[in-house]
């Protein structure tokens, strides 16, 4: 069995990948370049991970800005993500002293 052909990328292909890697999946990039996705993952994996991390940070910043503007939906969502809040009002956190439950009226 012959060794797979090595893919040489042009400067324009690399520039396209760098421009779109934050928003496209590895499979989409591979399809655009016409290469196997595993080849794309090996060649651009580190760049892909860095771009995705930057995207998550930017998204988190936008979410905090929305919360700072008192967007109720964003405040509820962030409360669920960061404070373990739920719709039933019960807080289950290990760092709280004792059992604290809000929303129970008897």
Give residue 38's pLDDT: 93
pLDDT tens, position by position, 10-51 = 899 999 999 999 889 999 999 999 999 999 999 999 999 999
- Mean pLDDT score of the chain, rounded to an integer? 82
Question: What residues does 101 pair with on adjacent strands?
Answer: 90
Count of other CB atoms within 10 angstroms of residue 48:
19
Count of other CB atoms within 10 angstroms of residue 85:
19
14-23, 27-36, 53-62, 84-93, range with the lowest pLDDT: 84-93
Give residue 79's pLDDT: 82
């Amino acid at each position: 069995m012959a060794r797979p052909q090595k893919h040489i990328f042009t400067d324009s292909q690399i520039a396209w990948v760098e421009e779109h890697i934050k928003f496209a999946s590895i499979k989409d990039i591979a399809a655009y370049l016409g290469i196997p996705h595993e080849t794309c993952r090996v060649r651009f994996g580190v760049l892909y991970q860095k771009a995705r991390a930057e995207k998550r940070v930017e998204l988190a910043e936008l979410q905090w800005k929305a919360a700072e503007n008192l967007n109720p939906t964003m405040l509820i969502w962030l409360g669920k993500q960061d404070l373990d809040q739920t719709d039933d009002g019960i807080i289950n956190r290990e760092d709280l002293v004792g059992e604290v439950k809000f929303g129970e009226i008897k």
